[in-house]
Amino acid sequence: MTLMSLQNVTRVHDGVHALKEVSLEVSAGELVAVMGPSGSGKSTLLNLAGGLDRATSGKVVIEGRDLAEVPDLAALRRRSVGYVFQDLNLIPSLTAAENVMLPRELDGVRATAARKEALAVLADVGLDHIAERFPGELSGGQRQRVAIARALVGERRLLLADEPTGAVDTATGDDILRLLRSRCDAGAAVLLVTHEPRYAAWADQVVFLRDGEIADSTAVPMESAR
Ligand SMILES: Nc1ncnc2c1ncn2[C@@H]1O[C@H](COP(=O)(O)OP(=O)(O)OP(=O)(O)O)[C@@H](O)[C@H]1O
């Protein structure tokens, strides 16, 4: 099942073609890595795929809904899309559990139910024992896992990750990739921007962008490094 598709999508910023006629599909169970030099359009692609930005032309469809016909993008994003950014954006004055609960509470879920969901996702990522700690009391890898838990909480199945391994050591980066991979294997779809070829080996498909266009797209054989 296709969770997100870009159909001939172009995005022009102030006369600059950040993305040109790009088509891409990400299905449930699939991890797609997006690579390419600085300025090639990776972040633009991720922002469009998650409804953070609108296409200049072409069509973006998330879970069967054409974004051009969705009046309230924020609500669709909260329900369907999880983001993990390099600078995690965890709120320092909230515990790990409270950080993970927050998007559900913003979506109108009651605190007790949101808390239950948050604890379940934290357990999924192996962090139930640190639920009551604050971000400042966690390691970099634990913080990254909390951010991933927050991106996954609720029903959201499309996960967008922009360099989630950028600020961590190799062992922690591997843990993060293992976690993203296991979420895919459980039915999520992940779009991962990375500069690291070693992480692309965990993907089902690697898309290379150059000057806003897909220069190459390669299916990764199953027997690779994962
Ligand atoms: N809001 C904006 N306004 C003007 N130009 C923009 C904007 N966002 C992106 N661009 C331009 O669009 C092109 C693609 O940028 P984008 O950030 O998507 O590339 P990237 O591959 O993610 O780069 P990096 O690896 O450095 O993060 C660049 O030329 C950039 O300068």
Give the list of residues 6+ apart from residue 218 with CB closer than 8 angstroms, or none: 205, 206, 208
pLDDT one-digit tens code per residue, 88-124: 679 999 999 999 999 899 888 999 999 999 999 899 8
Our answer on whether the CB atom of 43 is closer than 6 Å to any ligand 1 atom is yes
pTM score of the predicted model:
0.87
Probe target for ligand 1 pocket from 6, 19, 43, with the most ligand atoms within 8 Å of CB = 43
Our answer on whether the CB atom of 16 is closer than 6 Å to any ligand 1 atom is yes
Q: Among the atoms of ligand 1, which is closest to the Cα of residue 193?
A: 22
By the 8 A CB rule, do 214 and 207 touch?
yes
Extents of the domains making up the chain: 2-92+142-219
* Helix residue ranges per DSSP H, 37-139: 42-49, 73-80, 96-106, 111-124
Give the list of residues 6+ apart from residue 129 with CB closer than 8 angstroms, or none: none
Supply the CATH classification number for the domain 2-92+142-219.
3.40.50.300
Residue with tokens 């700690």: 133
Residue 173 token pair: 């980066």
User: CA–CA separation, 119 vs 122, rounded Å?
Assistant: 5
pLDDT one-digit tens code per residue, 47-89: 999 998 999 999 999 999 999 999 888 888 888 898 887 666 7
